[in-house]
Structure 1
Amino acid sequence: MGRYRIRRPVGTLFALTIAGGLLLTGCAGGESNGSSDSNRANRANGSLPFPSPAYSSGRPDTEESANHLSTFALDVDTASYGYARRTLAEGRLPEPSTVRPEEFVNSFRQDYERPHGNGFTVTVDGARTGPGDWSLVRVGLATRAAQPEAERPAAALTFVVDVSGSMGEPGRLDLVKDSLGILTDRLRDDDSIAIVTFSDEAETVLPMTRLGSHRARVHDAIDELEPTDSTNLGAGVRTGYATAVEGLRPGATNRVVLLSDGLANTGDTDADTILERIASARREHGITLFGVGVGSDYGDALMERLADQGDGHTTYVSTAEDARTVFSEQLPQNVELTARDAKAQVAFDPRTVQEFRLIGYDDRRVADKDFRDDRVDGGEVGPGHTVTALYAVRTRPGATGHLATATVRWQDPGTRAPHEESGQLETGALDGDLWHASYGLQLAATAAYFADDLRHGDTHGSALPGRPGLAALADHAGALATRTADTDVRRLAEAIQEASDLQGAD
């Protein structure tokens, strides 16, 4: 997590005229609180003007940023949390490198107000976490509800299926086949499916086929999938995107769905080469990627990078119930897009905020100056989604007034016209105690604290402020589950308790 300290105004001021108003900005320090991915252009553009009187921000304690802004591409991935649950159920703590806090937080439903059309609503709230002037601030973004199946655009989906030897283990290819069968029955007659398999080589076993009267043909192709040899993921991606391009349907949502354990071990195993193929198809044809991970040994880092490069996201399935949720609910939702290249920027008021930390989103940071540069990649988001970002915020002792403004910027998926929406938070709106705050904020905090413990353990210097021990956190999660009878929250409580037991056994 990046950590930034905001200091009082220093340095010479210069003036910029923005939208008819005067914005005064300090010249000290750099421009960005993070760097965009290597493929992102580093082009200058205006940063978010802060809706308050002039101020300047000084050099922070990190070399990454010299201002009050935090900017990141939206991300709706959940694979990290799913894989952690699988690992804990097997009696092991997950590797810290596989724990991405934002994916834990975004694995749970939030009841934010939703917009009527495409785009987002913005909800900003927060609560004090205890002594030391620290609070957790939640930025919640929500898209409109998913349309009825009959009203969404047609879909052209190319499934790239790993049939390597490792996929023969229980809970891998068998789960994939069941999942594809569920989805085939769930899609509409005017949707299309293609299937590519890969092991040591790749093969198109079903060209792009309009479902209509051909569902039996699709089911036959799925039933014939069998595990074979090694994992040539590069060949699978290359053939999968070539098949998607060949079967491209103008006006439809064209997407590649990669189902794999992500363990490339033969052929083209260089991630950058594979990534460039995905980026090229995205740029030229607008084909996005949805990654579905399986298996107890899982190439989490590679699958995450593939999805990011493909303007898509990843999830993880370990049970038939997970598969039904992903393929009956999540994937049909993700057929349609409501926002392209969506980015968020949060502006903290240095008169009230002393320092802040964005929790997670480590590989989704965007240079602050690129917030309004629509050539720079953001995230793709579909209907029915919510996106939550949490910040640890230290306010100045006794400070009152404006605390933060959160703005989301996105492009219309059809016209590419840019839009923005904002929300604000005052210090007086912070709840006095996190564990008496709203249900949604408590749930997001519980997930974030859990991820923080798995990532850092007892390294208190990196712990989030106010983090309870795992036993107490499991009790908090259990109380939330009892309050709502939400099975997902009940599973969270169980996973935290499993982690607590494993740590106690060390």
Structure 2
Amino acid sequence: MKYFLYCALAASLMPSIPALAQPTPKPAAASATTYTVQGRVTDRSTGQGLPGVTVLAKGTTTGVSTNKDGTYSIQVPKQAKLLLFSSIGYMQREVKLTGQTTINVWLASDSQQLSEVVVMGTAPAVQKQEVTGSVSSVITGKAAGVSVRGSRSLKRKDREAAASAPYGYAYPGQPEPGAGESYATIAENGFRNATKEPLSTFSIDVDAASYSNVRRFLQQGQLPPTDAVRTEELINYFQYNYPQPEPTAPEPFRVITEQAQCPWNPEHQLVQVALQGRKVPTEKLPPANLVFLIDVSGSMQGDDRLGLVQQALRLLTKELRPQDKVAMVVYAGAAGTVLPPTAGSSRADILAAIGRLTAGGSTAGGAGLRLAYQVARQNFNKEGNNRVILCTDGDFNVGEQSDQAMERLITEERESGVFLTVLGVGQGNYQDKKMELLADKGNGNYAYLDNLDEARRVLVQQFGGTLFTIAKDVKLQVEFNPARVREYRLVGYENRLLAAEDFNNDRKDAGELGSGHTVTALYEVVPVGAPASVDPLKYQPATPTPTPAATAELLTVKLRYKQPQGGSSKLLEQPLTGQDRPLAEASENLRFAAAVAQFGMLLRQSDYRGTATWEATAALAKGARSYDPDGYRAELVRLIKLAEGLRPSPTELGSR
């Protein structure tokens, strides 16, 4: 057998750091001139941790290598600007240092880097043997005591371009961010003429998956794919300090409206339409009939997938009450019940079933959904909350594969009165498009768990809002007064738009509102007298517009909803009057929602972002943080600064 020297290749790919030859020492305490950065390096295609990756503060001699699970901790000199990640068989990556203390990254395999690989056992008293398989399987330790050698064939200019590419933008040899993941295409809402189209109709959306997914990209040093940014989900991720419904009010929510100057276009107005769901104490919530439906296929292997699901379900189990019941269905090559309906007081049995879960096999998602709904129907509680909780990366590859087939399945099953909650995990093969569709059509909600803290937020802090519906098929229809409004634009909600006639059609599905949930929608309004976005018509006479009275209504909000098990909707109406005011005089709720909307438009590079800048967005969010019970508003300010540091320069954009 012909052998190639490993050392020459290693020297060409990795910086010379004497400390790497020894076991990685425990990091010393950070001094005044350094700070600690820690995180995990994973394989782009498998999501598994990569051991032995060189992590170097570029331009210094400070470096460490990752542990067997891909984790690392490094003391970074404060003057360092870049963190370099390199490993044999993978493309090098650089991350700009902006003071962040957690950096999780993935490395993409360099399919052209090794033209020949020979693996040789080096353990004493072990006969030499040839090992075949992918480079990643060898590097991740599936063959113990091996060394890898090869020759580089990737062009140098492509290597250098890939190594220096800013995250969120692709150069030769570097995949697009989110490659292998699926997101529904979003065509942003444009302006509508209030005279020709006075009605704006849409379904509410309480999902917040887009925000935590965007956070995942930014914390890994990437700008997210454009279609991963759903602005309404970013806005609705946060809690707002809206007043609760009156105790004697028959409706389970309160409607709040407000208007002020638009921050990204001062000549326009910003109108906020919001709902505050009634907060029902946990002890007064109806009994729950829950079915955990867990994807245990091969794609779910890993601590950030099935491992995170298990941790999340353990947190949820601790919230269960004796009157609640839980069953557990799993699916891989086939579907099966691993826990019959069990009282919430039998926590040991539920936790034991969760602990026995392992991943492997193909993905019979359709069969799993059918079985879970069947179990939920068999134990249906007419006075309770009946729900399937689906935990998956959405990578269905057996059974109902097409979106149309899955939509038909879910639409049929929702007629039983069983609601659906979708919890997404993983990366690389993440199927956001499919999971959003399932939750939308299944009378449910959708969250993405990027870490255990998000699982705690969704399943513990928002236990009632996530799992208990207080109103279903909630639709909003806003009618604009042409005497005061020339044009309007709904910010976000592109995949929730409805036809005007759908508003009165009780057979038309819409969104669900949970206990304590808030829903916020923003309209950018062009008032009469402001410059129009479309030039005046040449062949139609201009109709003089009388100056409206200060007391004239700007718009009327109409709302329809059903009781959780009801079939007929109820109608509410509420007008908005008065004049707009400076943004500085607006409520903190409106100002913070406006900051989040700007954040979304900047991430999307929206044509409607106007004068918005990262600096102005951070300042607007920072000035609206007095109500921040869980610290998520402060986190947003940090994410805005991260995104600003990742944006491409004009030179980088021009060179693509």
Please indicate the TM-score interval, normalised by the length of the shorter structure: 0.7 to 0.9
Aligned residue for 1:186, secondary structure, equals coil
Per-residue displacement from partner, 1:372-404 (whole Å, max 9, x unpaired)?
222211211122011101111101117553211
Q: How does 1:84-483 map to 2 (within 5 A)?
A: 84-115=214-245, 116=247, 117-129=250-262, 133-146=267-280, 148-212=281-345, 214-283=346-415, 285-297=416-428, 298-397=430-529, 400=550, 401-428=552-579, 430-432=580-582, 434-455=583-604, 457=605, 462-465=607-610, 467-481=611-625
More off after superposition, 76-85 vs 273-282 = 273-282
> Computing the radius of gyration over CA atoms, which structure comes out larger, 1 or 2?
2
Unmatched 5+ stretches in structure 1: 8-56, 59-66
* Aligned 8 A contact 1:152 1:336 in 2: yes
CA 1:485 to 1:221, structure 2 compared with 1: closer, same or farther past 3 Å?
closer
Q: 1:491 aligns with which of 631, 635, 639?
A: 635
In the alignment, residue 481 of structure 1 is paired with which amino acid? Answer: R
Per-residue displacement from partner, 1:106-157 (whole Å, max 9, x unpaired)?
01111222213543211111211266631111101111112x2222111101
Q: How does 1:5-16 map to 2 (within 5 A)?
A: 5-6=192-193
Per-residue displacement from partner, 1:275-304 (whole Å, max 9, x unpaired)?
211111111x11111111111232111110
Instruction: Provide the rounded CA distance (Å) in 1 between the counterparts of 2:628 and 2:466.
Output: 26
Per-residue displacement from partner, 1:246-275 (whole Å, max 9, x unpaired)?
332332211011111112234431122122
Unmatched 5+ stretches in structure 2: 1-187, 530-546
Instruction: Provide the rounded CA distance (Å) in 2 between the counterparts of 1:195 and 1:127.
Output: 49
CA 1:486 to 1:468, structure 2 compared with 1: closer, same or farther past 3 Å?
farther
* Aligned 8 A contact 1:127 1:135 in 2: yes
Following TM superposition, by how much is the alpha carbon of 1:474 offset from its aligned partner in structure 2, in angstroms? 2.1
Instruction: Provide the rounded CA distance (Å) in 2 between the counterparts of 1:380 and 1:485.
Output: 24
Following TM superposition, by how much is the alpha carbon of 1:483 offset from its aligned partner in structure 2, in angstroms? 7.3
Instruction: Provide the rounded CA distance (Å) in 2 between the counterparts of 1:97 and 1:326.
Output: 23
Relative contact order, higher structure (CA 8 A, sep 6+)? 1
Query: Which TM-score applies when normalising by structure 1?
Result: 0.82
Query: Which TM-score applies when normalising by structure 2?
Result: 0.64
Greater helix share, structure number: 1
Aligned residue for 2:387, secondary structure, equals strand
Answering whether residue 200 of structure 2 is matched by residue 70 of structure 1, we say yes
In the alignment, residue 109 of structure 1 is paired with which amino acid? Answer: Q
In the alignment, residue 463 of structure 1 is paired with which amino acid? Answer: Y
Instruction: Provide the rounded CA distance (Å) in 1 between the counterparts of 2:366 and 2:526.
Output: 45
CA 1:482 to 1:494, structure 2 compared with 1: closer, same or farther past 3 Å?
farther
* Aligned 8 A contact 1:162 1:259 in 2: yes
Q: Supply the RMSD in Å over aligned alpha carbons.
A: 2.0
Following TM superposition, by how much is the alpha carbon of 1:486 offset from its aligned partner in structure 2, in angstroms? 5.2
Aligned residue for 1:295, secondary structure, equals coil
Instruction: Provide the rounded CA distance (Å) in 2 between the counterparts of 1:145 and 1:332.
Output: 8
Per-residue displacement from partner, 1:190-220 (whole Å, max 9, x unpaired)?
11111111222222111222233x3221111
More off after superposition, 187-196 vs 400-409 = 400-409
Q: How many residues in Structure 1 have an aligned counterpart in Structure 2? A: 439
Instruction: Provide the rounded CA distance (Å) in 1 between the counterparts of 2:376 and 2:517.
Output: 25
Instruction: Provide the rounded CA distance (Å) in 1 between the counterparts of 2:395 and 2:640.
Output: 27
Instruction: Provide the rounded CA distance (Å) in 2 between the counterparts of 1:339 and 1:485.
Output: 25
Per-residue displacement from partner, 1:324-383 (whole Å, max 9, x unpaired)?
111113243333322121111111001111111111111111111221222211211122
Following TM superposition, by how much is the alpha carbon of 1:442 offset from its aligned partner in structure 2, in angstroms? 0.9
* Aligned 8 A contact 2:192 2:489 in 1: no
In the alignment, residue 102 of structure 1 is paired with which amino acid? Answer: E
Instruction: Provide the rounded CA distance (Å) in 1 between the counterparts of 2:472 and 2:626.
Output: 37
Aligned residue for 1:80, secondary structure, equals helix
Instruction: Provide the rounded CA distance (Å) in 1 between the counterparts of 2:375 and 2:402.
Output: 21
Instruction: Provide the rounded CA distance (Å) in 2 between the counterparts of 1:442 and 1:407.
Output: 24
Instruction: Provide the rounded CA distance (Å) in 1 between the counterparts of 2:446 and 2:291.
Output: 16
Per-residue displacement from partner, 1:34-82 (whole Å, max 9, x unpaired)?
xxxxxxxxxxxxxxxxxxxxxxx43xxxxxxxx2011111110000111
Tell me the percent identity: 36
In the alignment, residue 476 of structure 2 is paired with which amino acid? Answer: A
